[in-house]
């Protein structure tokens, strides 16, 4: 799902999109979902608009 690139020193470089996805996943976990349930919710979002809302933090 999230595959950050690495710099020359081996550090992961996350995009703003990665950070927003991670924040959304953390919010779902805090609501009582397991990690796998939260990832499934994200991956199975039927509508592109829902994914856009997730990335924008409005979901």
Q: What is the pTM of this model?
A: 0.67
Q: What is the pLDDT of residues 1-58, one digit of tens each?
A: 688 999 999 999 999 989 988 998 999 999 999 999 999 998 887 544 555 566 665 5
Specify the number of domains making up the chain: 1
Q: What is the pLDDT of residue 49?
A: 53
pLDDT score, position 43: 87
Q: Which domain holds residue 28?
A: 15-56
Q: For position 44, what pLDDT does the model report?
A: 86
Residue 10 lies inside a defined structural domain of this protein: no
7 part of a folded domain: no
Q: Is residue 42 part of a domain?
A: yes
Residue 44 lies in a domain: yes
- Position 45 scores a pLDDT of 76
CA distances to 2, 8, 9, 17 from 21, in Å: 8, 25, 25, 6
Q: What residues contact 40, with CB distance under 8 A and at least 6 apart? A: none
> Would you say residue 20 lies in a domain?
yes
Domain assignment present for 34: yes
């Amino acid at each position: 799902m999230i595959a950050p690139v690495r710099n020359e020193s081996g550090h992961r470089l996350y995009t703003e999109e990665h950070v927003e996805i991670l924040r959304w996943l953390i919010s779902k976990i805090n609501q009582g979902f397991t990690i796998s349930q939260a990832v499934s919710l994200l991956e199975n979002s039927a509508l592109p608009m829902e994914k856009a809302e997730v990335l924008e933090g409005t979901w």
